[in-house]
Amino acid sequence: MSIDPQVPGIRTNIDRVERLDSADMHDLCDATDMAILDGGGFGWLEPPPRETLEAFWRGVLAVPERELFVVRLGGTICGSGQLILPSRNDESQRHAAQLKSAFIAPWARGHGLARDLTLALEARARTLKFTILNLDVRATQQAAIRMYDTLGYIRWGTHPAYAFVKGEMIEGHFYSKNLKQTDLPKR
């Protein structure tokens, strides 16, 4: 699947990928490093060694319940997000998928790419017949929180000890979206 967000004068697209060639792996690791250094590295607080990061992304591609989407700006991967499907034994939660580890590298922010990535992940979840999309986010990630609020995600809970960052306990918010909802907010 491929979606083409509109950034004037720059080629952009969002693709689901099942493999990464060495150039894409390099770009994805660079984007990840920059997001981690900026403070939004989905768990990592410091960039890991490059071989660890590459092994992480290869692991993501190898897990059948994970679908990886990458965002390209001018052909270069600048962000990604994952759709996590319920495991096969999880029959009672077959209706719900999870949006995880979404980020855009700082140099590519502000062009609407994260919004388009979220909508692409939602579209894929709908195609797979999921009716609920769940996600969670640190309370310090204000840009993401604003985005999920405006995209119709409902905050249903807050975990007071969600993350421990630089000696400080940080809250995390849990969101859910009903994918059957059709009155999506306009851009």
Ligand X SMILES: CC(C)(COP(=O)(O)OP(=O)(O)OC[C@H]1O[C@@H](n2cnc3c(N)ncnc32)[C@H](O)[C@@H]1OP(=O)(O)O)[C@@H](O)C(=O)NCCC(=O)NCCS
Positions touching ligand X (CB under 6 A) are: 35, 40, 102-104, 109-115, 135, 137, 141-144, 146-147, 150
Shortest Cβ distance from residue 88 to ligand X (Å)?
A: 25
**Is 19 or 67 the residue whose CB approaches ligand X more closely?**
67
**Is 21 or 161 the residue whose CB approaches ligand X more closely?**
161
Q: Return the amino acid letter for 113.
A: L
Q: How far is CA 131 from CA 41, 68, 81, 93, 141, in A?
A: 28, 20, 19, 10, 26
Q: Return the amino acid letter for 122.
A: E
At 58, is the secondary structure helix, strand, or coil? helix
**Is 74 or 110 the residue whose CB approaches ligand X more closely?**
110
**Is 7 or 51 the residue whose CB approaches ligand X more closely?**
7
What is the rounded CA–CA span in Å between residue 58 and residue 19? 8
- The CB-nearest residue to ligand X is 40
Shortest Cβ distance from residue 185 to ligand X (Å)?
A: 9
Shortest Cβ distance from residue 5 to ligand X (Å)?
A: 9
Shortest Cβ distance from residue 106 to ligand X (Å)?
A: 8
CB-CB neighbours of 33 under 10 Å: 18
57, HSE (Cβ side, Cα atoms, 13 Å):
28
